[in-house]
Amino acid sequence: MRDEDIIVLQEPALTAAERLYLPQIIDGMRVTLRHMFSVTARNRRVTQYPEQKNPQWIENYRGVHRLNRDPEGRVACVACFMCSSACPVDCIHIEAGEAPWPDREKYPVKFDIDELRCIYCGMCEEACPCDAIELTPHYELVSQSRAEMIFDKEKLLQVYEETKETKRRKNPAVTGYGLTGDQSKDVARPAAEPKI
């Protein structure tokens, strides 16, 4: 910041009519009057929710979470705790257990998300290496108690059932997971031994 960078403004003083303030006030009131009586402007801007809803960017909207299923219908999560660690508010609680399927080590026995504590930032979705957890475009979340809003694994899978047509599971072709159900196909270590 040099002396040459400083701009000195020559502020002109108010004229006599301007000091009265009334012309400006009346001018402003004329603008508001125009808006008060313009029915077309009003109808153009108003969305009567819930009969009309605004357009929504389905791919990017961060609404309620869901746990995806892989093409074989198993829950895609491998209980790696990446989402739980990435969450800024600690709203994800996972209990890992030994997976009943041969090609996977772990799976989540319990997967709870406290939807009231969640800030819907999407860090869990970004952190997940298996595209298991995703945020859906569903935002109309209503319940009658706080306990109802702690979504367990069944509820999250139910959200998946309800939204899997409207929002497809993102980019399995890129990540390579879930296409064949073979979780041991680690993209980073292609020569790894499959677990028995």
Closest by Cα among 148, 145, 113 to 128: 113
Give me 65's structure tokens. Answer: 């979470």
Measured from the CB atom, is 4 or 193 closer to other proteins?
4
CA gyration radius, the chain = 27
Closest by Cα among 157, 183, 104 to 96: 104
Residue 54's CB: how many other CB atoms inside 10 A? 6
**Cβ at position 18, least distance to other proteins in Å:** 6
**Cβ at position 51, least distance to other proteins in Å:** 5
23: contact with other proteins by CB under 8 A: no
Whether 83 contacts 124, CB under 8 Å: yes
16: contact with other proteins by CB under 8 A: yes
Query: Counting every residue, how long is the chain?
Result: 196
95: contact with other proteins by CB under 8 A: no
Measured from the CB atom, is 21 or 101 closer to other proteins?
21
Stretch that binds other proteins, among 38-46, 91-99, 149-157, 179-187 (CB under 8 A): 38-46
Binding other proteins (rule: CB under 8 A), the pick from 20, 116, 141, 187 is 20
Stretch that binds other proteins, among 3-11, 106-114, 126-134, 173-181 (CB under 8 A): 3-11
Applying the rule CB under 8 A, the residues between 117 and 146 that interact with other proteins are 137
Binding other proteins (rule: CB under 8 A), the pick from 1, 3, 10, 193 is 10
Binding other proteins (rule: CB under 8 A), the pick from 1, 13, 173, 191 is 13
170: contact with other proteins by CB under 8 A: no
Q: What span, in angstroms and rounded, lies between the C-alpha atoms of 51 and 48?
A: 6
Across 145-170, b (16+ Cβ under 10 Å) vs e yields eeeebbbebebbbebbeebeeebebe
Binding other proteins (rule: CB under 8 A), the pick from 23, 25, 97, 168 is 25
Q: Which residues make beta-bridge pairs with 114?
A: 150
Closest by Cα among 58, 67, 18, 69 to 166: 58
Which residues are at the interface with other proteins (CB under 8 A)?
4-5, 7, 9-20, 22, 25, 28-29, 31-33, 35-38, 41-42, 45-46, 50-53, 55-58, 137, 166
